[in-house]
Amino acid sequence: MNIKNIAKGALYIALGVLIPLLFHSIGAGPMFLPMHIPVLLAGFLEGPVTGLYVGILAPVLSHLLTGMPPIAPIPMLPIMILELSTYGLVAGMLYNKLKINIFASLFGAMLSGRIAYGLMVYIMLVFFNIKMQGPIIAVIMAAETGIIGIIIQIIIIPVIVKLLGGKFVDGRSNIGSR
């Protein structure tokens, strides 16, 4: 971690607060999954460590400033912290460290994040006796609600990464071709 990564991470965290605020103001937050995009971009463009801390801090700061994600009646904040930090970490690991193409890395990050989501629901049910759907049902319902956001992520994340200098499919960087 250097100052440049910290500053870029702060930008992604700010986007992770502002973009959802805009979507929630029109009642479209859960459908479009707006906090996922800055976290995924942080992982892809800045690496796994930045993706991880953006995935932790964006929902925490958003909750402190806006109350979203909520902690009651269903505690979405801890669920989203684990889910989003997993997205950022796995996207950064697969894409930057293992050099897997953007599409496979995105799929791996999205799948891992949903597994983390289900794991946190399970932990809440078993250890904290919080009344909510079981983990499999919760993950399915979240995916159904957020299907538009998932489709948007699949379309725009690779394009943004490519435009901002990332590798697309063949492993070659876009840097220098601009």
pLDDT at 126 over 70: yes
**51-63 pLDDT per residue, tens:** 999 999 999 999 9
Angle at 35 between CA 30 and CA 36, to 5 degrees: 95
Distance CA 38, CA 21 (A): 13
CA distance 73 to 116: 20
- Of the two residues 169 and 48, the one the predictor is more confident about is 48
Instruction: Determine the average pLDDT of the residues in 39-43.
Output: 97
Average pLDDT of the chain, as a whole number:
91
Q: What does the pLDDT look like over 4-13, one tens digit per residue?
A: 889 999 999 9
Phi, psi (rounded to 5 degrees) for 33: 50, 55
List, in order, residues 6 or more apart from 74 with CB less than 8 Å away: 130, 132
Average pLDDT in the 65-87 region? 94
